[in-house]
Structure 1
Amino acid sequence: MPNKLFFTNLGGILVYAVIGTCWNAASLGLSLWGCHQGGAMGDIDIGLLQYLLFGSLMAAVDPVAVIAVFEQVHVNEVLFIMVFGESLLNDGVTVVLFNVFDAFVSLGGGAIDAKEIIKGIVSFFVVAFGGSLLGFVFGLLVSLLTRCTKNVQIIEPGFIFVLGYLAYLTAEMLSLSSILSIVFCGICCQKYINLNMNENSVQTVRYAMKVFANGSETIIFVFLGISAIDKTIWVWNTGFILLTLLFIFVYRFIGVFFLTWILNKYRLVPLDFVEQLIMGYGGLRGAVAYGLAAMLDEAKIKEKNLMVCTTLIVVYFTVILQVSAQSFMFGCCCL
């Protein structure tokens, strides 16, 4: 994680991660609800709040595969950090947004007034920024602790894993964003850990993290593949599925181009058309979207299986087809 580059472009990253995520969630949910009202999906039992809940979970952009392609072809560092930074913060924002709409669904449309909406907005910022602040606190704690561990090199790497996980658990316990907590914990302590710890311990942590990260990614996609053969979740609605695929693709591009048009008025290094096209095309959906779909309460969401089925199809479509096409295009450009 290039910290200096990340904080230099933090304003733009936050615009894409926060405003862009809210745009993707609201536009998809409202568009599907409008099509439902027009009779495009037949007789399914989904209300406006449930559509917005589905839109919030589908807003989880997961450009891991795109980042892998970026590293292979060595794209410019600004484009890399914009996509990478958005992917880091987007997941946390999406989970917070999902929890807000899930609470609204539990309340029911009749119980939601201006007071509840204001409470939801305030809750969104408290959970997101509270988790980030907690992560910084734990990052400082790790940084201070590693100043005193050079004489205990055997267990020195263990402190990083234990305290990092503790930052995650503490945020969960306080109902704050655990994803943002662990992200900002890592950002805060990265520089100090490299300087405070013994070089052997730093290398141990670095390679252990790579092993855990690659293993986790593999396990996640194996799990997605196994889930696809579960016949109980396959509830088909052609209108719902095709419209979801269309809207997430179209609104992703609209959001990226519109937000970039605004940002380019203030950026010293504006993003050109090709870079915006790549960012829009890199709006993949992955494990976070499926995980949130699986967490839906069937007692509140009667069409849960339809939403899970649609999420799986969207994940396969974006990861397999979009990444394959993007890899082909990058390969052609390199040649």
Structure 2
Amino acid sequence: MGTGTLRQENAALLVLAAISLALITILSVWKLKRFKYRLVNETGGAMFYGILLGVAVKYLRFDGASSMENHVCTCPGLNSTPHLVMVNISSEAHCYRHVGKMNPKSSLDSTSHMETFDLDVLFNVFLPPIIFYGAYTLDQRRFIANLGSVLTFAFFGTLISCFCIGVCIYGVTRLMVLLGQAADGDYSFVDCLLFGAITSATDPVSILGLLSDLRVDLDLHTLLFGESVLNDAVAIVLTRAITTYDGARPAFDPSAFLYSIGSFLGILLGSFCMGFIFTVITALLTKLTRLRESPLLETSVVLLLSWSSFLSAKASGLSGIVAVLFCGLSQARYTVLNLSAEGRSRTKQLFEVFSFLGEIFIYSCMGYILLTFPHHVFKALFISGAFLSIFISRACHIYPLSLLLNLGRTKKISCSFQHFMAFAGLRGAVAFSLAVRDTTTEAKQTILTTTLLLAGFTIWVLGAAADPLLHSLDIRQQQLNR
């Protein structure tokens, strides 16, 4: 059997496995909801079944894997003399000359690169419809009324959370050194800040799924969803700034700080403009042409151009999530007026289906990688400190900022709202996509492992406890305008 045929069969098998996982997740959650069991939602079920698939792939041996092992030989002495390796296969002899020292981290780099590429494809396909649908169906009047609060939580809240988590984790790593669980140079303060930046951003995918299932108060929905989307831009800037930080620099570099502020504002403004540009193009096409005579065509145009806002922003180094968020908001305000009645219905239903399936596929992938990634590093003290620090950091920015915002708000953020916001800091796909980009050191492998465990914990435990918490806090629930 040729290599190309085998590759096609493996690709088909992978797609079939993903579809089977989606079907099993949908049927399982549907059955649970029939029994009024709301402690498990689609994202939690998808991650669970992804873990089961990872277990099967990791511990079951296939013929292809065994065949590969028979043709792979490791040469641990390749970095030493002599620099010639003789390999005898059947009746033929092959000679290989070593021309340079092998990088001991090369296997990690390649693994990281492969997984990042696969995840980029997954996020580019399924993440835009999720964010667009949330923005497209959002109550715009409430969003504008709460815009100042949303920006405050997204910008200042993420900064507070990043440094709070970083400081807590740095203290934990010092304790690990004292207990002999880590060497002195294994975890630097920069690594701890990087972990803080990665895990400080709440995840819009899991937040939207949670809010949709619970039908929370519309103002609370706006605050949580708006914050979770906009702080993605802050997390991206913080991650970039910390990753490129030079340890030889002083602890505080004013020029680097001002550059980070300018970079954040540039990404935010550029992303807004990118989303609005594609809205203008869509609105003009649907208004100046007769596309409304064919609902199928006008729905396809809205879908493709809205998707392009996300991809164009990503290709330009901007925030695709912010771009597609603003595109969804503006499409719902302007373009929808030019669509036929059938086109409006089709557009909404199409994005709803893509959003639903996207949540399942993304979290199935996260569960799968949790079991199959070959370089996990489990540090019990680091993980315990991370779990504690996310609650501390969430409380340290929700309550003080709410107190300050209430000084100028006519409709105050109630204590019950604050308690639920502090509780509903779910982590997920966004934090995972940032953590998996670099796994070349033990510290970064620990960050990836801990991030995946945090995502699973917040989705399964906090997500399951959200409904009982709403009732105990006596927060009014409303049906969203979807």
* TM-score normalized with structure 2 length: 0.64
State the 1:30 CA deviation: 2.3
Stretches of structure 1 lacking an aligned partner (at least 5 in a row): none
1:20 to 134, 157, 162: 157
For 2:430 and 2:360, locate their aligned partners in 1 and report how far apart those are by CA, in whole Å: 14
State the 1:164 CA deviation: 1.5
Aligned residue for 1:20, secondary structure, equals: helix
State the 1:165 CA deviation: 2.2
Specify the alignment match of 1:114 in structure 2. 254
Relative contact order, CA 8 A, sep 6+: which one is greater?
2
Change (3 A) 1:254 1:66: same
Q: How many percent of aligned residue pairs carry the same amino acid?
A: 27
For 2:208 and 2:327, locate their aligned partners in 1 and report how far apart those are by CA, in whole Å: 22
Deviations along 1:67-93, whole A, 9 cap, x unmatched? 555445543221121112112212233
Specify the alignment match of 1:139 in structure 2. 279
Please list, as runs of the form range in 1=range in 2, the aligned pairs for 1:271-310 lying within 5 A after superposition. Answer: 271-298=413-440, 301-310=441-450
Change (3 A) 1:73 1:111: closer
Instruction: State the one-letter code of the partner of 1:109.
Output: G
More helix by share: 1
Deviations along 1:304-324, whole A, 9 cap, x unmatched? 221111011111111111111
Specify the alignment match of 1:246 in structure 2. 388
2:182 to 37, 43, 60: 43
Aligned residue for 1:233, secondary structure, equals: coil
Q: How many residues align?
A: 329
For 1:119 and 1:56, locate their aligned partners in 2 and report how far apart those are by CA, in whole Å: 17
Change (3 A) 1:131 1:60: same
For 1:111 and 1:218, locate their aligned partners in 2 and report how far apart those are by CA, in whole Å: 43
Deviates more, 1:245-254 or 1:23-32: 23-32
Instruction: State the one-letter code of the partner of 1:254.
Output: C
Aligned CA-pair RMSD? 2.1
For 1:5 and 1:193, locate their aligned partners in 2 and report how far apart those are by CA, in whole Å: 20
Deviations along 1:176-207, whole A, 9 cap, x unmatched? 22221111111112122221011111111111
1:213 to 315, 338, 355: 355
Please list, as runs of the form range in 1=range in 2, the aligned pairs for 1:160-175 lying within 5 A after superposition. Answer: 160-175=302-317
Specify the alignment match of 2:73 in structure 1. none
Stretches of structure 2 lacking an aligned partner (at least 5 in a row): 1-137, 476-482
Change (3 A) 1:288 1:52: same
Deviations along 1:150-185, whole A, 9 cap, x unmatched? 244332111112211222222223212222111111
Please list, as runs of the form range in 1=range in 2, the aligned pairs for 1:1-335 lying within 5 A after superposition. Answer: 1-38=138-175, 39=177, 42-44=181-183, 45-62=186-203, 64-65=205-206, 67-104=208-245, 108-111=246-249, 113-147=253-287, 148=289, 149-230=291-372, 232-298=374-440, 301-330=441-470
Change (3 A) 1:320 1:73: closer
Q: Is the 8 A contact 2:275 2:326 kept in 1?
A: yes
State the 1:111 CA deviation: 4.4
State the 1:231 CA deviation: 5.8
For 1:227 and 1:63, locate their aligned partners in 2 and report how far apart those are by CA, in whole Å: 20
State the 1:43 CA deviation: 1.5
Deviates more, 1:12-21 or 1:223-232: 223-232
Which structure has the bigger radius of gyration?
2
* TM-score normalized with structure 1 length: 0.91
For 1:294 and 1:266, locate their aligned partners in 2 and report how far apart those are by CA, in whole Å: 40
For 1:319 and 1:73, locate their aligned partners in 2 and report how far apart those are by CA, in whole Å: 14
Deviates more, 1:82-91 or 1:16-25: 82-91
State the 1:281 CA deviation: 0.2
Q: Is the 8 A contact 1:96 1:177 kept in 2?
A: no
Instruction: State the one-letter code of the partner of 1:28.
Output: I
Change (3 A) 1:256 1:195: same
Q: Is the 8 A contact 1:9 1:82 kept in 2?
A: yes
For 1:319 and 1:89, locate their aligned partners in 2 and report how far apart those are by CA, in whole Å: 20
Change (3 A) 1:72 1:179: closer
For 1:143 and 1:181, locate their aligned partners in 2 and report how far apart those are by CA, in whole Å: 16
For 1:181 and 1:164, locate their aligned partners in 2 and report how far apart those are by CA, in whole Å: 9
State the 1:297 CA deviation: 4.9
